């Protein structure tokens, strides 16, 4: 077999494996180099997202939500459940099964698309030359017409809280805890910290989150954050803002020293998760002869079409600027594949949705009010509370609201912000509207089934022009 390919992709996460599939669809001979090994020792495709990110975290969020529903919410429905028990090992085993099925699915997609999977660590050693070091340590060389770098990212470590793999862990290990820690500390109340905190608090941990910033979820619309913050407090999540962790000691428990405006404090927990963000995997991606341009934080420099400074070398996903989100990487993968094949691939960075899978869920797309104000863009706001929709009431899930921002003169939809049930799904309607350069009026005139949560989106669109039907304007 020849070691020459039209395209070689490094990294089989959502950015890399999707790039490879699109390349193969376009008739390009494609290989993917990936070094990931699942905890059972088996090499696995799918990268962070499928193995230790999006999918396992959502599987655990779902299990913990089921438990929480049975223990806390069924009584109101007239259902009595006695002797409810949680088998954490089974919860983790189910999560692993979901992950395995999905990563096997990517393997199958590679087979049907005739994509070669080369397991090992890849390095760019020449303009279009890749060296792959496999488990047995023997390096092998490959040559590509074009190279797509998609090595993703890994958790940032904190010198004040070094991981010991047991009491102080990162998000990878937090997805594999087989017992509920009575006291759980989390450094970082970002997306990952809040999702992990939700899982373990629902199944019995007392959770304290220590966040460096003075405001929770800085870039998110303040009205959404206030609503979510109130709900988190009611759920027992103890979020402490403006905290700087200065040190940790590990013994039978973890003792954390931190400072805030009021002074120095100590917190003792059984397990501590460090969730302070992620950094790009670019440390060992190129040999010394290859002059790939990185920024000061180690991200690969790219233009709007994900071209690096090297000819025929592209970079996509978490390793380049922009949000660290799986669907952003996937879209970049498609764009790059199409451009390699001579087509006009393009990513609309203005319409990337964000989701935080807490309860309530938080989702948004486009501009916030703060951004519009800063840019001097005139806008109208329409809001609608889920409490005023029949479906949310019937579901007993009526916390939250939909907030739409439309241009004051053109009515074009500029941003959508949702906190509440199924926000992750509801945001898609706003994304489609924005992709079609639609207006609040377009959404307002669209018939929505009754009773559905999506009626809140339509009502918020009506509220932009002060004609919501089920609330006072």
Instruction: List residues with catalytic annotation.
Output: 450
Taking 3-state DSSP, the helix, strand and coil percentages for the chain, each rounded to the nearest 5, stand at: 35, 25, 40
Identity of the residue, 176 or 442, whose beta carbon is nearer to ligand FAD in the bound complex: 176
Decide which of ligand AMP, ligand FAD, none touches 269; Cβ closer than 5 to 8 Å per partner kind.
Answer: none
Mark residues 146-165: x for contact with ligand AMP by CB under 6 A, - for none.
Answer: ------------x-------
Residue 204, classified by CB atoms within 10 Å of its CB into exposed (0-12), middle (13-18) or buried (19+), is: middle
385 near ligand AMP, judged by CB under 6 A? no
Q: Binding segment for ligand AMP among 25-33, 99-107, 208-216, 279-287 (CB under 6 A)?
A: 208-216
Decide which of ligand AMP, ligand FAD, none touches 348; Cβ closer than 5 to 8 Å per partner kind.
Answer: none
277 near ligand AMP, judged by CB under 6 A? yes
Structural tokens at position 193: 């910290």
Decide which of ligand AMP, ligand FAD, none touches 281; Cβ closer than 5 to 8 Å per partner kind.
Answer: ligand FAD
245 near ligand AMP, judged by CB under 6 A? yes
Identity of the residue, 181 or 190, whose beta carbon is nearer to ligand AMP in the bound complex: 190
Q: How far is the CB of 219 from ligand AMP (least distance, A)?
A: 9
Identity of the residue, 20 or 189, whose beta carbon is nearer to ligand AMP in the bound complex: 189
Residues that bind ligand FAD (CB under 6 A): 10-16, 33-36, 47-49, 53-54, 57, 121-122, 150-153, 171, 192, 281, 285, 317-319, 324-327, 329
419 with 380: CB under 8 angstroms? no
DSSP per residue, 336-358? HHHHHTTS-----GGG--EEE-S
- The CA-CA-CA angle for residues 472, 456, 354, to 5°, reads 130
Q: How far is the CB of 116 from ligand FAD (least distance, A)?
A: 14
161 with 265: CB under 8 angstroms? no
Q: CA separation (Å) from 230 to 226, 398, 424, 470?
A: 6, 14, 19, 24
Q: CA separation (Å) from 324 to 47, 179, 301, 401?
A: 13, 29, 15, 26
Distance between CA 55 and CA 123 in Å, rounded? 28
Residue facing ligand AMP at closest CB distance: 190
Identity of the residue, 45 or 210, whose beta carbon is nearer to ligand AMP in the bound complex: 210
Give the torsion sign (CA, 187, 189, 193, 197).
positive
For residue 80, the tally of other CB atoms under 10 A from its CB is: 7
For residue 288, the tally of other CB atoms under 10 A from its CB is: 6
In terms of DSSP H, where are the helices of 69-125?
Answer: 88-112
Q: How far is the CB of 114 from ligand AMP (least distance, A)?
A: 37
Q: Binding segment for ligand AMP among 14-22, 90-98, 206-214, 405-413 (CB under 6 A)?
A: 206-214
Decide which of ligand AMP, ligand FAD, none touches 326; Cβ closer than 5 to 8 Å per partner kind.
Answer: ligand FAD
10 near ligand AMP, judged by CB under 6 A? no
Decide which of ligand AMP, ligand FAD, none touches 276; Cβ closer than 5 to 8 Å per partner kind.
Answer: ligand AMP
Per CB under 6 A, which of residues 411..450 are in contact with ligand AMP?
A: none
Identity of the residue, 157 or 425, whose beta carbon is nearer to ligand AMP in the bound complex: 157
Q: Binding segment for ligand AMP among 232-240, 269-277, 303-311, 342-350 (CB under 6 A)?
A: 269-277
Q: CA separation (Å) from 301 to 279, 296, 306, 322, 467?
A: 14, 10, 8, 11, 47
Mark residues 183-202: x for contact with ligand AMP by CB under 6 A, - for none.
Answer: ----xxxxxx----------
For 376, residues 6+ apart whose C-beta sits below 8 A from its C-beta are none
What is the contact surface with ligand AMP in residues (CB under 6 A)?
158, 187-192, 210-213, 245, 275-277
């Amino acid at each position: 077999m020849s070691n020459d390919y039209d395209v070689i992709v490094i990294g089989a996460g959502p950015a890399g494996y999707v790039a490879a599939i699109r390349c193969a669809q376009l008739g390009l001979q494609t290989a993917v180099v990936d070094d990931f090994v699942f905890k059972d020792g088996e090499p696995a495709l799918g990268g962070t997202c499928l193995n230790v990110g999006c999918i396992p975290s959502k599987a655990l969020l779902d299990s913990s939500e089921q438990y929480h529903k049975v223990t806390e919410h069924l009584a109101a429905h007239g259902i009595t459940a006695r002797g409810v028990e949680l088998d954490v090992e089974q919860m983790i085993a189910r999560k692993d099964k979901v992950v395995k099925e999905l990563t096997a699915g990517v393997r199958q997609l590679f087979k049907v698309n005739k994509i070669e999977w080369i397991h090992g660590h890849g390095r760019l050693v020449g303009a279009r030359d890749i060296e792959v070091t496999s488990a047995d340590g023997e390096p092998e060389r490959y040559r590509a017409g074009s190279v797509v770098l998609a090595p993703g990212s890994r958790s940032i470590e904190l010198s004040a809280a070094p991981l010991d793999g047991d009491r102080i862990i990162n998000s990878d290990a937090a997805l594999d805890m087989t017992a509920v820690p009575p006291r759980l500390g989390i450094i970082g109340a970002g997306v990952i910290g809040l999702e992990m905190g939700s899982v373990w608090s629902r199944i019995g941990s007392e959770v304290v989150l220590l966040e460096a910033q003075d405001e929770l979820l800085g870039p998110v619309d303040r009205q959404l954050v206030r609503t979510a913050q109130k709900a988190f407090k009611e759920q027992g999540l103890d979020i402490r803002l403006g905290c700087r962790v200065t040190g940790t000691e590990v013994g039978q428990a973890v003792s954390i020293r931190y400072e805030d405006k009021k002074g120095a404090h100590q917190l003792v927990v059984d397990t501590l998760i460090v969730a302070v963000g992620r950094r790009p995997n670019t440390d060992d991606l190129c040999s010394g002869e290859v002059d790939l341009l990185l920024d000061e934080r180690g991200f690969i420099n790219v233009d709007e079409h994900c071209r690096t400074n090297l000819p025929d070398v592209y970079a996509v996903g978490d390793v380049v600027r922009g949000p660290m989100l799986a669907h952003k990487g996937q879209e970049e993968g498609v764009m790059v594949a199409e451009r390699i094949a001579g087509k006009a691939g393009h990513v609309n960075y203005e319409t990337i949705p964000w989701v935080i899978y807490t309860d309530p869920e938080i989702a948004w797309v486009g501009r916030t009010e703060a951004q519009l104000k800063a840019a001097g863009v005139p806008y109208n706001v329409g809001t609608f509370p889920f409490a005023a929709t029949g479906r949310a009431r019937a579901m007993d899930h009526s916390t939250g609201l939909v907030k739409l921002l439309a241009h004051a003169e053109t009515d074009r939809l500029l941003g959508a912000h949702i906190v509440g049930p199924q926000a992750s799904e509801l945001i898609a309607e706003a994304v489609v509207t924005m992709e079609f350069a639609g207006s609040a009026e377009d959404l307002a005139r669209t018939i929505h089934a009754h009773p559905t949560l999506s009626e809140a989106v339509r009502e918020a669109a009506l509220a932009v022009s002060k004609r919501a039907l089920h609330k006072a304007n």
